[in-house]
A and B are shown apart, each in its own frame.
Chain A
Amino acid sequence: NAGVTQTPKFRILKIGQSMTLQCAQDMNHNYMYWYRQDPGMGLKLIYYSVGAGITDKGEVPNGYNVSRSTTEDFPLRLELAAPSQTSVYFCASTSQGELFFGEGSRLTVL
């Protein structure tokens, strides 16, 4: 049972570079989320999706973009990476209530 799979697990970016964090779930969940976790700050919602073709902003969407072309995949795009985007990123999915999280992607922007 794969659950929620995130790639890559680690990445170092230079300022101004762009990249995509991949997220896939095999539980046929409608809801998918991207969170970032900064030290001592808990998890902050970046973007979320309630189904294929539908996305919406969370608390901290600036500097990110998402798409949801299929139920399974919810990639997070960083354009023009900045040091403030250094964080651990978690993708999650649910059908209702309890969230299932991926293992996280640690991103460092230098």
Chain B
Amino acid sequence: DQQVKQNSPSLSVQEGRISILNCDYTNSMFDYFLWYKKYPAEGPTFLISISSIKDKNEDGRFTVFLNKSAKHLSLHIVPSQPGDSAVYFCAASGGETSGSRLTFGEGTQLTVNP
């Protein structure tokens, strides 16, 4: 039962363009969502988060949008840079998985081409 899904295993964009990574969830009890970035041979690092009381959160080139009715969130990176090439994980917590337990999606490999 995959409660957090990232349906695109990979995404390729040109430098300077927008990258849009998508994530869907099924558990309506989730109330806190995060994006993590992972480079090869390193642990995931926190990128940006959003609470369910908001529909948008922005941090520099990164913006996360939350559509609660559609149970969908997306991460926008603009402009994309080659250093953004990494695996991006969507994660969620809340309800029965609270206490800071996170449920992760499968990840999307982003490649930004110079």
Interface-facing stretch out of A13-21, A38-46, A71-79: A38-46
Distance between B15 CB and nearest chain A CB, rounded to angstroms: 26
Residues in B with CB closer than 8 Å to A99 are 36, 44, 46, 100, 102
- CB distance B101 to A101 under 8 Å? no
Query: Are A31 and B100 in touch, CB under 8 angstroms?
Result: yes
Residues of B within 8 Å of A, CB-based: how many?
23
Q: How many residues of A contact B (CB 8 A)?
A: 25
Quick check: is B30 within 8 A (CB to CB) of the other chain? no
How many A-B Cβ pairs are below 8 Å? 54
Q: Any chain A CB within 8 A of the CB of B99?
A: yes
Say if the beta carbon of B65 comes within 8 Å of chain A: no
| Residues from chain B with Cβ under 8 Å of A43 in the complex | 44, 89, 104
Is A96 engaged at the interface, CB distance under 8 Å to the other chain? yes
Q: Is A53 an interface residue (CB 8 A)?
A: no
**Are A103 and B99 within 8 A (Cβ)?**
no
Q: Are B43 and A90 in contact (CB under 8 A)?
A: yes
Given the interface contacts A99-B102, A102-B43, does A42 sit within 8 Å of B89 by beta carbon?
Answer: yes
Smallest Cβ distance from B50 to chain A, in angstroms? Answer: 11
Determine whether the beta carbon of A101 is less than 8 Å from that of B44.
yes
Residue of B nearest to A6 (CB): B43
How distant is the Cα of A33 from the Cα of B91 in the complex, in angstroms? 14
Which 5 pairs from chain A and chain B are nearest by CB? Answer: A101-B43, A42-B106, A43-B104, A42-B104, A98-B46
